[in-house]
Amino acid sequence: MNRITGGVGLALALTMPAAQAINQEIHASFQPDSSQPGKNVFVNKTPSSGYCANYPAQCAENNMFSIELPIRYSSNRALISGDGVSLKVPAGWRRLTVTNQDTQETAIVEVRITGIGSSFLLSDTASNLTGAPNDREGHDKLWTSDGWLYAPSPCIGTSVSGYGPRNYRFFWRTPVEASCTKTVAFPFRIPSMSFEKLDFAYELKTPNPLDMSSGLYTGAIAYSMGPGADFHMGYMMQPDDTNLTLDFVLDVQHTLKVDLPPGGDKVSLEPAGGWARWIEGGRKPTRIFRDQLFYLSASSRFKVLMLCNSTGGTACKLGSPKGDTTEVEVFLTLPPGITGPSGGNVTRLPLRFNDWAGPFQPGIYVDRKPGSLLFEMTPFAIDFLLQPGKSDRLRGNITIIWDSDV
């Protein structure tokens, strides 16, 4: 008996609308400015589009920036008299964390939306929808509180508008997080309406860059779009993107530079007034030292390390071919405006062999300000080395390392 078997394969595909999303980068940077050493703020490098691109002076006055995105909100039904078109945006401060991609240090950025605008499109001309003699009167007549040049409370108008037979461009400031509603006037009906773009202004609070290490800090904040969402343009208005993510990139470019005057890399220690008293009269000096000037430029915290021929502690050894040795200590003085670990100015801080000192924190950008390294023999070394009739020259190398990678 032949047996024939057959099978039937069933496939069921279920599809649902995919959630759409849009990303926008916000880029800000910090570079110390010698002409403004006290200006320790990030500069927003994101090109403005929309409102602030057209009206830069108004935005500069209010520390605002704007972005125009190709996000469209369309009505899902006709709008009849009494229907309100309510706009609400996240006008309160929201926080996000940005992370240094190299060091994994974090900082906090705050952002708020300070304005909202668009260009809406009607299904017919304003004059046809209202019977007004022209489109200007038609746009004003269509809404209970005149055209969209006039922002409903608590929004604030910006005296910016432009209109055509079917379209109307507007921009409102949003001082608080609340709905601003335009209502269709009686007895009119709008078969359909759409916002053709999303134009919003924003304000930033950035961290103090002097407290941050050099490098790129990145982070993101996500907003929802649609009825009842963060960017709400009316309960009957559906967006073609449902999520907006602002990707933040903060670029910190610090300066740490030490300049020595000519010949400053060769230090000769001697008593105050020179060696004449010792050579001519045998009067032992109480101090043998050299206060070496340097010029420091610094915009971020840093640390300092001393390396030399040493058995540890604060002493560095000098020697000669004759076998004589002596010890020298090194003391660091930094320019005013830079604080040490204890919080005060750094004056004659003793450096220790192979032991990082600091961190030291500039309160402002210090631009080529004078500091000093004091090289000084200990009293014991002076007594041990200086004996009548003794003549020698002792040498040694002392290396000072400055590092901003704290």
- Would you kindly state where each structural domain of the chain is located, as residue ranges? 23-252, 256-403
- Tell me the pLDDT of the chain (406 aa) as tens digits: 233 223 333 333 333 344 567 999 999 999 988 878 778 889 999 999 998 898 888 888 878 899 999 999 999 999 999 999 999 999 999 999 999 999 899 999 999 999 999 999 999 999 999 999 999 999 999 999 999 999 999 999 988 788 999 999 999 999 999 999 999 999 999 999 999 999 999 999 999 998 898 899 999 999 999 999 999 999 999 999 999 999 999 999 999 999 999 988 899 998 887 877 777 666 778 888 999 999 999 999 999 999 999 888 999 999 888 888 889 999 999 999 999 998 889 999 999 999 999 999 998 899 999 999 999 998 888 887 777 666 778 899 999 999 986 5
> In this structure, which amino acid lies at residue 6?
G
Burial (CB count within 10 angstroms: exposed 0-12, middle 13-18, buried 19+), residue 198: buried
Rg of the chain (C-alpha set): 36
Interior CA angle at 77 toward 169 and 191, to 5°?
60
Helical (H) or strand (E) element with 65: strand 65-69
* Residue 19: φ, ψ to 5°: -70, 130
Element at 140 (helix H, strand E): helix 135-141
Give the residues across from 1 on adjacent strands.
Answer: none
Residue 135 phi/psi, 5° resolution? -70, -30
- For residue 136 the two structure tokens come to 């200007």
CATH 2.60.40 holds for 256-403: yes
- H-helix or E-strand spanning residue 129: helix 126-130
Answer for the pair 182, 152: CB distance below 8 angstroms, yes or no: yes
Phi-psi category of 159—alpha, beta or left, where left has phi over 0 and alpha has psi -120 to 50?
left
Chain mean position to CA 84: 39
Report the C-alpha gap between 274 and 264 in whole angstroms: 18
Beta bridge partners of 220: 247
Choose among 190, 227, 216, 198: nearest CA to 117. 198
Give the residue from 256, 218, 250 showing the smallest Cα distance to 359.
256
356 close to 349: Cβ distance less than 8 angstroms: no
What distance in Å separates the CA atoms of residue 253 and residue 48, rounded to the nearest whole number? Answer: 23
